[in-house]
Structures are given as C-alpha cells and as structure tokens.
Amino acid sequence: MKKIELIQNILEANSATAESNRATLDRNGCAAINVMSAPGAGKTSVILRTLDLLRPAMRVAVVEGDVSSTVDAEMVRGASDAVVQINTRSMPETCALIADMVDAALKKLPLSEIDLVIIENVGNLICPSEFDLGERLKVVISSAPEGDDKPLKYPLIFADADAVIINKSDLFPYVDFDVEKFKRSVRDLNASAPFFELSCKTGAGVAEWVDWLRSQLHGK
C-alpha cells in the first residue's frame, strides 16, 4: 500500500508541475510538443526535418532528453533557435523526462521569443507515457525496422498519442513491417490520432506531417 501511495504522490506532484509548465508556456504565447519513441526510431532526425520546414517563419526551441551525452543537442543546435540538454543519468528517473526537468529547462529558454518548444524525450516506449510534461501534443514515432507489433507490446503510449509517425518508410521494401496491421493495432487503442508515413532520408511525407503540426498550433 505504501508503494502505491508513493507512486500516486509522485504522479500527482508531476501533474501539478506539468500544469504550471503549461501555464508558463501559454503566458509566453508558446506551445510544446512531446516527441517519444524507442531508441533508434529517429526522433532527432524527424525533429531536424521538422525544423527545416518550420523555420524561420516559426521560432523553435528544442529540449533534448537523454541518459547521457550532448550528441543530439549538438545536432540540433544550428537548426533551432535555442536548445537545452537534459541528462538524466544522475537522477533516479532515468527512463523518461518528468515535469520538474522540463520546468528547469524552460527557465533557461527565452520563451517570450519562442513559438514552439519541441521536447525530445528519452528513448523509451514505457516510462514517458506516464508523465505529463505540460505539452500540448504527444507525438509517438515508430520506425519500420522495429516491426509492426509495438502498439501491442506498449499500448499506453499509443493510446495517449495525438499523432503517430511511422518513420524510415524508405525501408518498407526491406523489412517485415505490415503498415495496415500496425495501423489497425493503434486504432484499437486510439480512434483519432492521425498517421504520418515519412522518411527522413528522402523527405517523403515530411511536409504532410509539418502541415498537420502547423494546423494544430495555429491560433495558439
């Protein structure tokens, strides 16, 4: 019972901080999206392609979450208007970002000069679904080489998604990934999230994804 109470307390405290983050973003005329996936699905590549099409018309900051290193932050530094790295290795919650970490990152960003904050969560399909960060949209990326069974194995993250990206579509001819089976599995969990099939290598599908993102952020 004590363990259950502790978990409830952690989630309640996280939710309160997430609401504070959301209020901070709203106050500054800014919005955030939470980008989640397994390691290697291509979060950073998708973010870079997204930045290419959003900027300079939109001012975009990136919060990079990872267990260690600044590799991803260095990759997006030149493509974004601002970037903050969060390393979770020294923290107990190493499997995902939590609202307190994002709160600290937001304090380092010039939010009044930013339209959108893209949060790249730690590579994981379990823990990130538990924690609200104050984002407007949750985006889940699954890639062709991972296989089409991820919605069956990790249902919560797909059930909560506002959009699902199927990345590395250029590899469809070479891997065992049944797109329609994947979509049906997601639809059993989530009736409304749109799907975007894209390839960061060729650029296919990226414009459709970014057009949808713009439409969701319009009038924020």
Ordered domains of the chain (ranges, CATH): 2-217 (3.40.50.300)
- Check whether 11 has a pLDDT greater than 90: no
Better pLDDT: 111 or 11: 111
43 CB-near residues (< 8 Å, 6+ apart): 35, 36, 37, 120, 121, 123, 141
**Average pLDDT score over residue span 196-215:** 98
- Check whether 220 has a pLDDT greater than 60: no
Give this prediction's pTM: 0.92
The tens digit of pLDDT for each residue in 41-63 reads: 999 999 999 999 999 999 999 99
- Check whether 3 has a pLDDT greater than 50: no
- Check whether 4 has a pLDDT greater than 70: no
- Check whether 148 has a pLDDT greater than 90: yes
The tens digit of pLDDT for each residue in 150-205 reads: 999 999 999 999 999 999 999 999 999 999 999 999 999 999 999 999 999 999 99
The tens digit of pLDDT for each residue in 73-118 reads: 888 999 999 999 998 775 555 688 999 999 999 999 999 999 999 9
pLDDT at 67: 74
pLDDT at 8: 63
